[in-house]
Amino acid sequence: MQVPLLDLKAQFAAIKDDVLPAINEVCASQMVCLGPAVAEFEKQVADFIGCGHALGVTSGSDALIAALMALDIGPGDEVITTPFTFFATAGAISRVGATPVFVDIEKDSFNIDPTLIEAKVNEKTKALLPVHLFGQAANMEALAKIAKSHNLALVEDAAQAIGASRNGVNCGAIGDLGCFSFYPTKNLGAFGDAGLVTTHDDDLAAKLRIIRDHGQNPRYYYHRIGGNFRMDGIQGAVLSVKLKHLGQWNLRRQANAKLYDELLADSPVQTPVIDTANKSVYHQYTIRVPQRDGLQQYLSDKGIGCAVFYPLCLHQQPCFAYLGHQAGDFPEAEKAASEVLSLPIYAELTEEQIRTVAQAILEFCG
């Protein structure tokens, strides 16, 4: 049986009768940059997340850049983050002229280890940028305590974690700012690139509204350097339709993860370890196995989709060579990069497909 890593066609087939009229409405109005469709989505998603403000932007990458710009972070500043994440997290720090400072991860959660952070804080440090990796929240209480004690901003990279929560509070509503991606493969995916910045702070929200539109207010009067970070109207319309389904989709991912957990319980595979304070939305169902490359090839040969997120830590990437890191600097992150493998977890998976994936893994592990 073929089991794709992700099947967006199946998702679209179930909701196209709602999506297409929403797109047509934007086309008829020709309000295609920001506009009422984006404003309506912003209201709905702010209510969903439980934050004071939600501002639609062009992508999750631009959400991170805009958030750092709103905090006036730039050359000479440092931002502490994880080396085990998608490039955009550290890339955004560099894009605003600041320096990413990496801290190793926790073995089980794959998220930044708060116990290692204070050793990296100095007078140049301006913010902490944790990532809620694979849909599970980082230890935000510990991070908030560190941020408060050192007067640092706390920015959540929640690109993979919409609907996830910690101690009942949704990701994106915990720190000073939250950044989301709606890349099509995300739990809530747009029809292309789109993103979101969330905050409870009225002043930060006002700055972000100016920053995402080149820094102008009113039109053609520029108070600061901004960017072209405006969300398209069509993305706002599609996301509003999909947001109504997100809760159910996340529940399906959680049910799929539970079945995987049960089927792989007695195998050498380490299944995801979820903190009891967290509700994960399983953007990825990521296992650990020492023979990762062999298992990946075995599954691929059987027509089972799987992927490695991420095969090389950021401190080992050529573009960050100027930071001077060596192999071994962040051992937990490096070990994870050599062992992780993500399995199909999307909401439309059938039980038969999940059992097919699990059986293949058990066969390989012997």
What pLDDT does 13 receive?
96
Question: pLDDT band at residue 15, thresholds of 50, 70 and 90?
Answer: very high
d(CA 186, CA 234): 17
What pLDDT does 366 receive?
75
DSSP secondary-structure letter at 225? -
Average pLDDT (291-317) is 98
3-state secondary structure of 280: coil
Q: Closest by alpha carbon to 112, among 341, 273, 330?
A: 330
d(CA 195, CA 61): 8
* Residue 263 and residue 139 in contact, taking contact as beta carbons nearer than 8 Å: no
Tell me the per-residue pLDDT of 117-143, one tens digit each, with 9 for 90 and over. 999 999 999 999 999 999 999 999 999
User: Cα Rg for the chain, rounded, in angstroms?
Assistant: 20
Question: pLDDT band at residue 39, thresholds of 50, 70 and 90?
Answer: very high
Confidence check: pLDDT of 66 > 90: yes
Helices (H), the chain: 8-29, 36-49, 60-70, 87-95, 140-149, 202-211, 233-263, 292-301, 331-339, 351-365
d(CA 109, CA 264): 18
Confidence check: pLDDT of 89 > 90: yes
Could you tell me the pTM of the whole model?
A: 0.97
Average pLDDT (9-19) is 97
d(CA 158, CA 174): 11
What pLDDT does 223 receive?
87
**What values do phi and psi take at 80, rounded to 5?**
-90, 130
Q: Is the peptide bond before 318 cis (omega within 30 degrees of 0)?
A: no
Tell me the per-residue pLDDT of 90-123, one tens digit each, with 9 for 90 and over. 999 999 999 999 999 999 999 999 999 999 999 9
Tell me the per-residue pLDDT of 271-301, one tens digit each, with 9 for 90 and over. 999 999 999 999 999 999 999 999 999 999 9
Tell me the per-residue pLDDT of 70-82, one tens digit each, with 9 for 90 and over. 999 999 999 999 9
Question: pLDDT band at residue 324, thresholds of 50, 70 and 90?
Answer: very high
Instruction: List all residues 6 or more positions away from 74 whose beta carbon is below 8 Å from its beta carbon.
Output: 96, 97, 98
* Residue 282 and residue 261 in contact, taking contact as beta carbons nearer than 8 Å: no
Q: Which two tokens stand for residue 337?
A: 């990069």
Q: Which two tokens stand for residue 173?
A: 């509503």
- Beta strands 99-102 and 78-81 are parallel
